[in-house]
Amino acid sequence: MTTAETHGKALSIGEVSERTGLSVHALRFYEREGLLIGPVHRTPGGRRQYTPSNVDWLQICVKLRESGMPLSDLKRFTELVRQGPGNEAERLRLLDDHRQRVDAQIQALEECRSVIAWKVDVYAEHLARGEAGGLWDPTP
Amino acid sequence: MTTAETHGKALSIGEVSERTGLSVHALRFYEREGLLIGPVHRTPGGRRQYTPSNVDWLQICVKLRESGMPLSDLKRFTELVRQGPGNEAERLRLLDDHRQRVDAQIQALEECRSVIAWKVDVYAEHLARGEAGGLWDPTP
DNA sequence: CTACGATCTAGAGCAAGGTCTAGATCAAGT
DNA sequence: ACTTGATCTAGACCTTGCTCTAGATCGTAG
């Protein structure tokens, strides 16, 4: 039951790159940095063979990175997961802290968005009318 | 009327730093990079004297930066404004493109947020019950 | 007048997060 | 067998966006 990852078909690094959006360089880099839970399988010839669960994990990594989690935190999280059961409280703390940061970021972005949208309107309206106001032209 | 900025009180770099949240280093850096519209006034002794309108501009810069606009775009925008009237269409395009990117970013963050929130729930629930499931423990 | 903190310039340094290169090997099509 | 394209490793290199340093100067409070 827990060997679910061993029966899926193996994926090459290029395929994983396509599926995750990470470059092959980044994939190797992540591996070196210890951002994968287990060691990646290799063919007899030495090529990496990713399992579907590797890909699942990487996709979570991508989400966490996209939302601004630094690699150091991601690494810490990976280590916790690698250690296995017993540290769920810390995992929870890590993720929940991050979620709060994401919330704050969304709020900040929304504020920025409204400032920008307002500026856009100013310009659009100005263009529609055709004459320069005191906008942001510091022509004294 | 257009000389509104000349009657406000002048601010030192330290004061501007407090008001904008940018470090004094960053303020000098921004100036070197051409991110200010006009040259900053100086005291006879050579210290910078910012006008309130310098500060207003910097605050817009901060918002644009916070929302992820690269310095290169910000510089371009500054140049357009510096050139004066006649290029409003390009300014509009620049800002509106950025607004769209911000919208996309907010959407992406919200998606991340929900993935993370879900994971947080999984851990929280797990902790509440006390036993390890197959979570993300790749213990085969 | 003397301190002391704030500012000045030029330029070096830094952290993050990859990206790219070189030179070799592997694998698949013809 | 030959060619072509994907992968391999190790390590150098890059970009962005500041940050920090050194050594000098300014300006204000005592």
What is the C-alpha to C-alpha distance for residues B45 and B38, in angstroms, rounded to an integer? 19
What is the C-alpha to C-alpha distance for residues A125 and A123, in angstroms, rounded to an integer? 5
| Class of CATH domain B1-68 | mainly alpha
pLDDT number for residue B116: 92
pLDDT number for residue B8: 64
* Domain topology for A4-129: Multidrug-efflux Transporter Regulator; Chain: A; Domain 2 (1.10.1660)
The single-letter code of the amino acid at A105 is: Q
pLDDT number for residue B138: 43
**pLDDT (average), residues B86-114:** 94
- Distances from the Cα of A10 to the Cαs of A6, A72, B68, in angstroms? 9, 28, 37
What is the C-alpha to C-alpha distance for residues B116 and B107, in angstroms, rounded to an integer? 14
Residue in chain B closest to A107 (alpha carbons) equals B106
What is the C-alpha to C-alpha distance for residues A130 and B94, in angstroms, rounded to an integer? 19
What is the C-alpha to C-alpha distance for residues B58 and A37, in angstroms, rounded to an integer? 44
A35-52 pLDDT, tens digit each: 999 999 999 999 999 999
Q: Are A71 and A35 in contact (CB under 8 A)?
A: yes
pLDDT number for residue B47: 98
* DSSP reduced 3-state for A49: strand
A77-133 pLDDT, tens digit each: 999 999 988 899 999 999 999 999 999 999 999 999 999 999 888 888 888 876 544
Cβ distance B60 to A119 less than 8 Å, yes or no, reads: yes
Query: CB-hemisphere CA count at 13 Å for A19?
Result: 18
* b/e code B32-60 from CB counts within 10 Å (16+ = b): eeebbbeebeeeeeeebebbbbbbebbbb
- Residue of A115, A121, A140 lying closest to B37 (CA atoms): A140
Chain A contact set for B108 (CB, 8 A): 66-67
Chain B contact set for A117 (CB, 8 A): 99
Q: Nearest-CA residue to the C1' of C20?
A: A25
* Chain pair A-B, CB pairs under 8 angstroms: 137
Residue B85 (CA) to nucleotide C14 (C1'), in angstroms, measures: 40
What is the C-alpha to C-alpha distance for residues B135 and B123, in angstroms, rounded to an integer? 8
Chain B contact set for A106 (CB, 8 A): 106, 109-110, 113
Q: What is the mean pLDDT of chain B?
A: 88
Q: What angle do CA A102, A112, B115 make, to 5 degrees?
A: 20
How many other C-beta atoms can be found within 10 angstroms of the C-beta atom of residue A86?
10
